[in-house]
Structure 1
Amino acid sequence: MEILEKAPAKLNLSLDALFRHLDGDPEWKMVMTAIDLADYVYLDTNDQTNEIIVQTNTGFLPQDRRNLAYQAARTLQKKFNINAGVTITIEKKIPVSAGMGGGSADAGAVLRGLNKLWNLNLSLQELAEIGLEIDSDVPFCVYSCPALVEGKGEKITPIGSLNSLWFVVAKPQASVSTPSILKQIDFCEIQHLDVQKVVDAIHNQDWNLLFQSMGNSLEPITTQKYPEITNIKEKMVKFGAQVAQMSGTGPTVFGITQTESRAQHIYNSLRGFCKEVYLVRPFNLTNR
């Protein structure tokens, strides 16, 4: 039996790292949204074998145990003693090493899809807790809706709709190593954010408050090595974005507007400076 799961990319509207746990993982407080730039994950189960096979349309992804989608399937197999295999075919659309959670999105899609195919009847919260064993972004990607994300990434609180906004996303050629950036965090030196203001702004659909309150505490670390991030941000604002910032550990930058026409202008203007530019809407899995 085959099933298709959409695996949306994520953007960080607000990102703060509060402290480091004894195991080295950061404590996060973030507001994230999914967007309709997405991978497509096809799952084909096989009762004759317990083999996990990963296939992709790009040579940039590992197709073995290093792949987060593989890890998601293997984790469910082991936890629930599943005597079936699966072929995972990933049609990749999300840029790789971009700070948009592409690998985690694929893993989240595998968890949701195999939950149906293997009749596990797990809630999204249960899937999210399993997802944390794979990567800190997987719990959010299980939900794939605007949400407050706390803890090590496992505490997900959906917070409302961003449907009236338009996003322009630009990925510079640089590829950023997330572990490298996380190692450089000085929790006493980074600028901590009032993430609750972003939550309140979305609850109240107060876009001026949202634009004023957004931020990414990791941005100064990444932009030191990759100044092109700042350059793209400045161009986005110049071309009409009401706010622009880096997502995750970078290097992807996104700008937000309230009108399609302005978003289209930003998109058209940026294409001369950046090869990978996308005009997208927010995505909410719970509204599908």
Structure 2
Amino acid sequence: MKITVKAPAKINLALDVLHKRNDGYHEVKMVMTTIDLADHLRITLLESDRIQIESTSGIIPNDKRNLAYKAAALLKERFAIKQGCKIEISKKIPVAAGLAGGSSDCAAALRGLNELWQLGLSLDELATIGAEIGSDVAFCVYGGTAVATGRGEIVKPISSPAPAWVILAKPSIGVSTADIYEQIDVSTCFHPNVEAMIQAIETQNYKDMCHKLGNSLEDVTLKLYPKVAKIKEKMKQLGADGVLMSGSGPTVFGLTQYDTKMRRIVNGLRGFCKNVYAVRLLGKNIVE
């Protein structure tokens, strides 16, 4: 038996870091939404009791460090599954980009194995299991658009945002999320108005959504990686309606509703940044 599962990337429309918790994580309040840039996982059941990971990427690990591997291992242990699986990951989402590629692969593995192993778990149950592996995994289990609180594992779905193009530009650097959080000062960093962002999305107010974009982590990453700041400024110059770094970076995204402007921004970035993508906001409440 085999199944193919889609694993979409996410962007943060708003990311507020509130304070450092006693467990070492930071308390956050975020608005996240999935975009139509995705990895695909092909999962095949094996007779032998082992987990095998294969990937088109030469960067991500294919062993126990891989988040999809961790998903399979956790399900096997918790539900005493004696059957193995092979997970083939076709990578499209850039690695270490602030787009939750690894977390989305993990979530897709949970959804796919839930079906293949006939575990009968709900999305809520899968999200709870996923939160044990990574903070963004719970959101990625649901997909769509949501407010995430706690360390990111408490997920409340909201309406889809107004339709738009998302232009992504990722410089050829990787950023460690842990390193960025280590350097943030919550008493002086920018705190976006998350409630205003939620309101803009719920009322389909595209202009206000662009105006309310904000990320508490952005200033830290821009200071450490000037290339990211240059990409952000370039996107603004090219006419994107709203520009923001996603997650801890280094990917920067710009929004527009017009095909002609999208093409102009993409063309303007081509010689400036190697990895440039133009995709749509997915706008689905649950990833199928």
**Alignment-derived partner of residue 114 in structure 1:** 113
Deviation at 1:133, TM superposition (A): 0.8
**Alignment-derived partner of residue 13 in structure 1:** 13
Q: What pairs up with 1:120-269 in 2 under 5 angstroms?
A: 120-162=119-161, 164-269=163-268
Q: TM-score, normalised by structure 2?
A: 0.97
Residues 215-244 of structure 1: CA deviation (Å, up to 9, x unaligned)? 000000011111111111111111110010
SS at 2:60's partner residue?
A: coil
Deviation at 1:159, TM superposition (A): 1.2
Deviation at 1:285, TM superposition (A): 5.8
SS at 2:113's partner residue?
A: helix
**Alignment-derived partner of residue 64 in structure 1:** 63
How many Å separate the matches in 2 of 1:285 and 1:158? 7
User: Which 4+ stretches in 1 moved above 3 angstroms?
Assistant: none
Gaps of 5+ in 2: none
How many Å separate the matches in 2 of 1:92 and 1:164? 25
Residues 123-147 of structure 1: CA deviation (Å, up to 9, x unaligned)? 1111111111111111111111111
160-169 or 194-203: bigger deviation = 160-169
How many Å separate the matches in 1 of 2:243 and 2:210? 9
1:139 partner amino acid: A
2:35 partner amino acid: I
SS at 1:228's partner residue?
A: helix
Q: What pairs up with 1:92-103 in 2 under 5 angstroms?
A: 92-103=91-102
Gaps of 5+ in 1: none
How many Å separate the matches in 2 of 1:188 and 1:287? 36
Deviation at 1:203, TM superposition (A): 0.5
4-13 or 184-193: bigger deviation = 184-193
How many Å separate the matches in 1 of 2:279 and 2:115? 28
2:171 partner amino acid: P
How many Å separate the matches in 1 of 2:286 and 2:259? 24
**Alignment-derived partner of residue 37 in structure 2:** 37
1:35 partner amino acid: I
Q: Is the 8 A contact 1:163 1:281 kept in 2?
A: no
How many Å separate the matches in 1 of 2:287 and 2:80? 32
Deviation at 1:193, TM superposition (A): 2.0
Q: Is the 8 A contact 1:35 1:281 kept in 2?
A: yes
Q: Is the 8 A contact 2:138 2:153 kept in 1?
A: yes
How many Å separate the matches in 1 of 2:188 and 2:285? 36
1:152 partner amino acid: R
How many Å separate the matches in 2 of 1:164 and 1:21? 36
